[in-house]
Structure 1
Amino acid sequence: MSRRVRAVVLVEGIVQGVGFRPFVYGLATGLGLDGLVGNDERGVFIEVEGAPATVEEFLSTLRKSPPPLALVERISSGLVPATGEAGFVISGSATGGPRRALVSPDVATCADCLREMGDPADRRYGYAFTNCTNCGPRFTIVHGVPYDRPNTTMAAFAMCADCAREYHDPADRRFHAQPVCCPACGPRLRLLDSGGEEIAGDPVEGTARLLGRGGVLAVKGLGGYHLAAVAACADAVTALRERKHREDKPFAVMVPDLEAARRLCDVDAAEEALLTSRARPIVLLRRRADAEVAPLVAPGNRWLGLMLPYTPLHHLLLGRLGTPIVLTSGNVSDEPIVYVDEDAIPRLGGIADAFLTHDRPIHMRTDDSVVRAFRGEDLPIRRSRGYVPHPLTLAWPVPRTVLGCGAELKHTFCLARGGHAFVSHHIGDLENYETLRSFTEGVDHFARVFDLAPEVVAHDLHPEYLSTKYALAREGVDLVGVQHHHAHIASCLADNGVAGPVIGVAFDGLGYGEDATLWGGEFLVADLAGFTRAGRLATVPMPGGAAAIRQPWRMAAAHLDAAYEGDVPADLAVVRRNADRWEAVVALARRGVSAPLTSSMGRLFDAVATIVGGRDAITYEGQAAIELEQWADQAEDGAYGCRLVGREPFVVPCAELVRAVVEDLRAGTAPAVIAARFHNAIAHVVADGCARLRESGGPDTVALSGGVFQNLLLLGRATALLEARGFRVLTHHRVPPNDGGISLGQAAVAAARDRLR
């Protein structure tokens, strides 16, 4: 006994549901150590006993080589008296203390499970719910911690003898895999017609047959229902668009494999890594000219959003079809994704011809994630399935639990405590009761699972945002209002682990400013706790308010009227197209009636897109600006000049840019060249503005945030110009630059102010 020691170990991080206990069991027994391992509310607890050198070898391996799906944040250990007990066991989970364990995101099907599904001799041959310790559902099925089967929606499925044997066998890949199941005891598929009656036969084969005939089907996935159609079938894609009331916004496409992805798009090494990652997000890729997809999959768009199969069901379906399919959120436009079976037929019955569904409940609806690759790194556009609820580690402690309530569009919320920020899955636009309910239910779920009771609640300054109203209605908390663009910059700072100060460039559609105007083209000198508005775009009216967002020709009218002081060239196409209503809208802008002032860069992009390309009305948020990026000639390096006026804050005179665009257009310059010169001009505005602020004693680090910086052409050229002038440039890699990252910024600001109390 004197030559034996016993170490007590606690491992914290994402260590439940990722095969950590089986890994520890194998490591300990392989080294001949005695003891135990189990889950509790904090993570994984371990006791190992044996020779001192062997115990030390165990601890070293634990630190250096954890299981591939684990994210170890901290390992603490200490010695206690040896007990002399022989053997090593996996003990029952401990409960009762504060919940600190983290939950894994859903993980794409692993290669081992795919091999079993493809083996006719295997009992899981062709089984649509095959999973193991290394893959399968996690976040979407869990409703409590520790991560054990009774705390998931798999609790209703009693394991058969074969599955139980695997579950309890330390040598098996499914040892303590909580969603383990097979055809004898697990969930099953059903194919239903539009009225809810079951269609006889193999559900996957029946679905493939209906899709191949041009049908539109609803398919239940990990986090909700999708709507599917063969991507090359023009009639099916047209029907899907018409029934879903989604006129132009691109559809995502699921391809069977990487080879199929390369037939549709150019795929570089960074994009391939994203496509094949465990998260399996939708990756925005440059489409090939010969891509065989229906025109209405992504009308007028140079990019396609592709993803690989990430569930066994997807693999089976794509394997039967052998062709890419559109796979888009199962909803009517602007509604949340359907995830409850009882809602599927009532809400999607007018869209889908049939339903491929199953009886494993989804506890938390979760949309697919969307990413782009920028300079070989991730640039999230929508952070959701596969990433959430993976916590973001923070460089500074959060003294009290903070809830960031987010913005109105692309909504997320964030709960932060200690060194973690839990940014939620994508909720959507808070424009209806269903989405608001999804928000409030999500907050309650995160608070329960992670044992987080908000003490500080941060919110946007806009009084009409539903997220703001939710915050103001909460009782017994300290409220912190955070200006929208400060939240954008704070989000970028938290994303990069930088406290500031920085020059923050926040370009977006709009956000409520401290002077009651609508900001959106901002240069801030900021840290996490506060900011100074150091520069901005010149303000123009938004005639009709929100109508000017839906009808960007109104912004064109406002910008042209300001640029030409009322003497707008009558031969411009945008004027001719809207002649019957032009003067009324201009008069509205001049009077300032229902025409709030805005410094928005997003609205300037809208105006230029309308002037150059003729997009008078949009059917989805940001459409005109996105199209302007699409048109731009990537080889054009010319730029319109634009001087900065005044100081504290300086002003970017939009009128100069608008006049330059019009002069080129009237001279017959190609729209692609005009679009590129405008992008280049804005990149120079960014670099010139930051240089001016640095000359005035400002920082030499720049943070770029806001939805406009989803534009890779602008982001790339602005970053290059800044770096050429010696700036350090921060961009987003873990949360989106759009409003999906606002909640993290709000939480970071509130926590920083809390630390200063």
Structure 2
Amino acid sequence: MFVSNGPVERIRVEVEGIVQGVGFRPFIYRLAARYGISGWVRNTPAGVLLEGEGERSHLSAFLRDISAQAPPLAAISSVHSETISVTGEGGFSILPSSGGENSAQISPDCDVCEDCLRELFDPRDRRYLYPFINCTNCGPRYSIITAIPYDRRFTTMERFAMCADCRAEYEDPANRRFHAQPNACPVCGPRIALLDSSGREVMQGGGGRGHDVLLAAVNLLQRGGVLAVKGIGGYHLAVDACNEEAVANLRRRKQRDEKPFAIMAPDLARIDSFARCSETEQRLLGGPERPIVLLPKREATPIASLVAPDNGYFGVMLPSTPLHHLLLRNNFIALVMTSGNQSDEPIAYRDSEAREQLAGIADLFLAHDREIHVRSDDSIIRVFHGSPLFLRRSRGYVPRGIRLPAEQPSVLAVGGELKATVCLTRNDRAFLSQHIGDLKNSATLRSLEECVAHLEKILEIRPALVAHDLHPDYLSTAYAVDLPDLPRVAVQHHHAHMASCMAENSLEGEAIGVIFDGTGYGLDGTVWGGEFLVGGYREFRRQGHMRLVALPGGDAAVREPYRMALSYLFDAGERDFAALQLSCLGDVSAQERHLLQRMLERGINAPLTSSCGRLFDAVSALLDVRSRITYEGQAAIELEALAESAVTDREYPFSVEEFAGRLILDMRPALVELLKDLALGVPRAIMARCFHNSMAAATAGMCERIRCRNGLNRVVLSGGVFQNKLLVEGTLNRLAELDFQVFTHRLVPPGDGGLALGQAVIAGCMRREAERSTELEMLR
């Protein structure tokens, strides 16, 4: 206890950020005791409010340590303090939560902390082997919250009345579980059970711990069975990742031919046995968010080949719940842990729906009676240049706020069609939702609707307008159009990508935007996807793009990359498809070749596109990497994996033409040279690497031409193609050599998972400028 030797003052402090449900109030309580501060602290809808009274130097140290020593799960965005009148109050107390305007940020779901993990495996601890152990430093948050403020009565733990021991911990400010809302134990908390698809208990967890249930689940997995496991944000489908037959069986049942499965290992030591892992990747794997991280495979690995066929990487994660730790420890090198869903459906999270959807896939269900209120799939990250790049931002990171370049009106943005997310903004913060999925059916649309309703409720945001993609046929567009009484803003797809990257990097003014993806609805009615834009949030200009080619068969060309190979060959002057001797055409009949040739000659069912993604598909087919795909992006992913196995600085040629004031990037010279190499028998990996090199060089060359026109020196890289590590690294190096400032994604995915952020910022900027114009007009 500090003794006051100077004048006493009192301060009022408002703390905003992720400061609820993370042990912040007991932290303040203990900090106040350390410095001899009297007063109180409480949760408010805006965050945490406190008043402290004490000697001036002690208050100064107290204020400093609020930020410097905050709890591990806290993320403080602002601390505002002011001096108020002294009251002479004695002691320090934690007051009940208060109401008012909400600007609080909710904590994401978190892994098990080291303290709880130690107790979990301590036979002397009363929570020994208890699958729901947690404290203020760990455990479920976002997935169990039903309303705000974050109190137990507004979570799915409300139905579990705490026993005397748990209540004593919950009410003790000195205890690690003080106001830990999911606090529970085997006596009073949730329980696990092993169920069949009808919901009948095959085995139940007696005494709360469910040790027999766990043993039976482990035994099923060891015998090659498929187990549906209820996690934090939904169900996973699990099999032994080292059992080739079990993995093959899961693929058959789930009808997932080749798309890689994610795997979960018990610890970093096990991961080291099958994948290479850098220090940065280890930190990401071991963080409280517990994402899937893409790791290079080791040459000799115990993991079944069917886990990630024709892919140089494993998607790996560490356990994210106590139940996962109990399943894995001392039992498996790794388990496949893939999302519990059917094709094109969102991850199953309600018990009855999970049993219905997964009945033909899972042998049994390892379930529990703690309800999941919000579904949330796993986050996926890969590392390049020592920094994380999100491929999917979801569980563990949502709903953390992203700071915007400026304050703006509240906007709801509903994203595009693929890898859908939604975004809500409040003042200078954007809140991007968890991964929803591809909006191709009513199930994913319902998931989007539920997600919007939940975020609006817990963030208490009432949007002033809604932003959506320009494409009129997207389900997200239809959803936005049907919202009553909300003005709508249609945002061009690639402009949204550009704005997303600019916003997360806090850029103002104009920049060059290089946006490479597969498909986006263009202002001219064509399919865009290889774009060089100039502009900012308010507007953009299409300064250049990749040369237009046909999409023979429309969407069929996406599923069958050999069609794009033929389209590019046709554009390069090849007119006799019957005579082509290419491996990728080996199973394409003469009749189909003739049909495709006629389609291209007449322009029937062959819309034009500038898509960079389709060019990667064409090269993948020409090199006989992938002529048909079973999942989105497969051809490009496998082409990159092939290119990574070779080393060469050689580049294929390209050309740049000018048409109607725009620069047109023509990659036909590169394909002509590639075909020559193919005839000479040059190794495919070398050709794949040369193509990547040429794309990086061509991108830098286009940016240099645009800089000469506009004087802009800042470049942002966005779009799904920039998930390609080789392309990003090559482009960054070449742009750096030309003294460009280059900005990439760090906080949101470069693909369509980050689209809603860009839509929200563009719409907010337009609304803000419209309001300013109205105000100026009224003053005249």
- Decide: shared fold, TM above 0.5: yes
Q: Percent identity, please.
A: 50
Report the secondary structure of 1:577's partner residue.
Answer: coil
Q: Which residue of 1 aligns with 2:554?
A: 545
Structure 2 residue 505 is the aligned partner of structure 1 residue 496: yes
Equivalent pair of 1:330/1:348 in contact (CA under 8 Å): yes
**Which amino acid counterpart does residue 436 of structure 1 have in structure 2?**
L
Instruction: Report what 1:421 is aligned to.
Output: 430
SS in 1 for 2:178: coil
Letter in 2 for 1:103: I
For residues 117-153 of structure 1, the C-alpha deviation after alignment (integer angstroms, 9 at most, x for no partner) is 1100000000100000100000000121111111111
The answer to whether the Cα contact below 8 Å between 1:248 and 1:299 also exists between their aligned partners in 2 is yes
Q: Is residue 4 of structure 1 aligned with residue 8 of structure 2?
A: yes
- The question of 1:150 aligning with 2:153 is answered yes
Select which of 196, 199, 202 maps to 1:199: 202
Aligned to 1:755: 768
SS at match of 2:670: helix
| SS of 1:379 mapped into structure 2 | strand
How far off is 1:712 after superposition?
A: 0.3
Query: What amino acid is aligned across from residue 708 of structure 2 in structure 1?
Result: E
Counterpart check, 1:642 vs 2:654: yes
Aligned pair 1:518/2:527, yes or no? yes
Match of residue 230 from structure 1: 240
Q: Is 1:661 aligned to 2:674, yes or no?
A: yes
| Aligned twin of 1:408 | 417
Partner in structure 2 of residue 432 of structure 1 = 441
Alpha-carbon distance in 1 for matches of 2:594, 2:585: 10
> What is the Cα deviation at residue 573 of structure 1?
2.4
Letter of the structure 2 residue corresponding to residue 4 of structure 1: V
Contact in 2 for aligned 1:6/1:48 (Cα 8 Å):
yes
Contact 1:372-1:380 within 8 A present in 2 as well:
yes
How far is the alpha carbon of 1:567 from its aligned partner?
A: 4.1
Pairwise CA distance, 1:473: 1.6
Contact 1:391 1:422 in 2 (8 A): yes
CA–CA separation in structure 2 for the residues paired with 1:575 and 1:307: 39
Q: Contact 1:680–1:714 (CA<8 Å) still a contact in 2?
A: yes
Three-state SS of the structure 1 residue aligned to 2:597 is: helix
Is the counterpart of residue 171 in structure 1 residue 179 in structure 2? no
Are positions 1:679 and 2:692 aligned together? yes
Please say if residues 625 and 638 of structure 2, whose CA atoms lie closer than 8 Å, have aligned partners that are also in contact. no
Task: Give the aligned length.
Answer: 755
**Contact 1:10 / 1:44 at 8 angstroms: preserved in 2?**
yes
2:29 paired with 1:25:
yes
What are the residue-to-residue correspondences of 1:723-738 with 2, within 5 Å? 723-738=736-751
Moved more, 253-262 or 46-55: 46-55
Alpha-carbon separation, structure 2, partners of 1:576 and 1:584: 16
Structure 1 stretch 176-185 or stretch 646-655: which is displaced more?
646-655
AA matched with 1:745: G
Distance between the aligned counterparts of 1:69 and 1:634, measured in 2? 42
Secondary structure of the structure 1 residue equivalent to 2:656: coil
Match of 1:719 among 725, 728, 732: 732
Amino acid at match of 1:276: G
> Aligned partner of 1:226: which letter?
H
How far apart, CA to CA, are the structure 1 residues paired with 2:173 and 2:21? 15
CA separation in 2, counterparts of 1:260 and 1:355?
Answer: 26
**Counterpart residue number, 1:186:** 189
The equivalent residue for 2:774 is none
Between 554-563 and 219-228, report the one with greater CA deviation: 554-563
| Match among 623, 634, 638 for residue 634 of structure 2 | 623
Q: Following the alignment from structure 1 to structure 2, what is the Cα–Cα distance between the partners of residues 620 and 339?
A: 23
Could you list the runs of 5+ residues in structure 1 that have no partner in the other structure? none
For residue 137 of structure 2, what is the amino acid of its counterpart? N
| Conservation of the 8 A alpha-carbon contact between 1:101 and 1:145 | no
Q: Is residue 237–residue 296 contact of structure 1 (8 Å, CA) maintained in 2?
A: yes
Matches within 5 A, 1:296-695: 296-398=306-408, 400-567=409-576, 570-580=580-590, 581-632=592-643, 633-646=645-658, 648-695=661-708
Code of the residue aligned with 1:161 in structure 2: it is: A
1:94 corresponding residue in structure 2: 98
Q: Does the aligned pair in 2 maintain the 1:404–1:747 contact within 8 Å? A: yes
Displacement after TM superposition at 1:565 (Å): 4.3
Length-normalised TM-score, structure 2? 0.95
Map 1:208-223 onto structure 2 (within 5 A): 208-223=218-233
The 5-angstrom pairing of residues 80-119 of structure 1 reads 80-95=84-99, 97-119=100-122
1:365-414, Cα deviation, whole Å (9 max, x unpaired): 0000000011111100000000000011112111x111111010000011
Measured in 2, the distance between the counterparts of 1:159 and 1:274 equals 34
Structure 2 counterpart of 1:494, one-letter code = A
Counterparts of 2:381 and 2:549, CA distance in 1: 33
How far apart are the structure 1 equivalents of 2:38 and 2:596?
80
Instruction: Please tell me whether the aligned partners of residues 625 and 639 of structure 2 are also in contact (alpha carbons under 8 angstroms).
Output: no
- After TM superposition, give the deviation of residue 646 of structure 1 in Å: 1.3
Q: TM-score, normalised by structure 1?
A: 0.98
Corresponding residue of 2:775: none
Contact 1:537 1:653 in 2 (8 A): yes
Shift of 1:614: 4.8
1:44-87 CA distances to partner (integer Å, 9 max, x unpaired)?
Answer: 11111223332233222223322221111111222332222322
Contact 1:645 1:653 in 2 (8 A): yes
Contact 1:563–1:654 (CA under 8 A) maintained in structure 2: no
Distance, in Å, in 1 between the alignment partners of 2:653 and 2:587 is 29
1:122 aligns with 2:133: no
Aligned-residue offset at 1:11: 0.9
Distance 1:477 1:593 in 2: 39
Structure 2: how far apart are the matches of 1:216 and 1:692?
56
Contact 1:524 1:534 in 2 (8 A): yes
Tell me which moved more, 254-263 or 30-39. 30-39
- Give the structure 2 partner of residue 78 of structure 1: 82
Equivalent position amino acid for 1:616 in 2: S
Distance, in Å, in 1 between the alignment partners of 2:625 and 2:575 is 21
Q: Distance in 2 between matches of 1:165 and 1:436?
A: 44
The answer (yes or no) to whether the contact 2:162–2:184 under 8 Å persists in 1 is yes
Whether the aligned pair in 2 keeps the contact of 1:456 and 1:477 (CA below 8 Å) is yes
| CA–CA separation in structure 2 for the residues paired with 1:257 and 1:184 | 29
- Distance (whole Å) between structure 2 residues aligned to residue 653 and residue 575 of structure 1: 24
For the residue of structure 1 that corresponds to 2:106, the secondary structure is coil
SS in 2 for 1:436: helix
Contact 2:583–2:624 (CA<8 Å) still a contact in 1? no
- Report the CA distance between 1:582 and its aligned residue: 0.9
Pairwise CA distance, 1:478 = 2.1
**What is the Cα deviation at residue 658 of structure 1?**
2.1
User: Does the residue aligned with 2:242 lie in a helix, a strand or coil?
Assistant: coil
Q: Tell me the CA shift for residue 99 of structure 1.
A: 1.5
**Contact 1:331–1:338 (Cα < 8 Å) also in 2:** yes
Correspondence for 1:278 among 266, 273, 288 = 288
Q: CA deviation at 1:229?
A: 0.3
Aligned residue in 2 for 1:247: 257
Q: Is the 8 A contact 2:562 2:627 kept in 1?
A: yes
Q: Distance in 2 between matches of 1:697 and 1:340?
A: 54
Residue ranges of structure 2 left out of the alignment (5+ in a row)? 205-211, 771-780
- Cα distance in 1 for partners of 2:580, 2:724 equals 31
Other structure's SS at 1:321 match: coil
Opposite residue 165 of structure 1, the aligned amino acid is: A
Contact 1:455 1:476 in 2 (8 A): no
Deviates more, 1:657-666 or 1:260-269: 657-666
The alignment partner of 1:315 has SS state of: helix
For the residues of structure 2 that align with 1:650 and 1:58, how far apart are their CA atoms? 59
For 2:625 and 2:26, locate their aligned partners in 1 and report how far apart those are by CA, in whole Å: 61
Output one character per residue of 1:169-215: Cα deviation in whole Å (capped at 9) or x when no partner.
11111111111111111111101134432223711111111000000
**Equivalent of 1:15 in 19, 33, 46:** 19
State how far apart, in whole Å, the 2-side matches of 1:553 and 1:674 are.
17
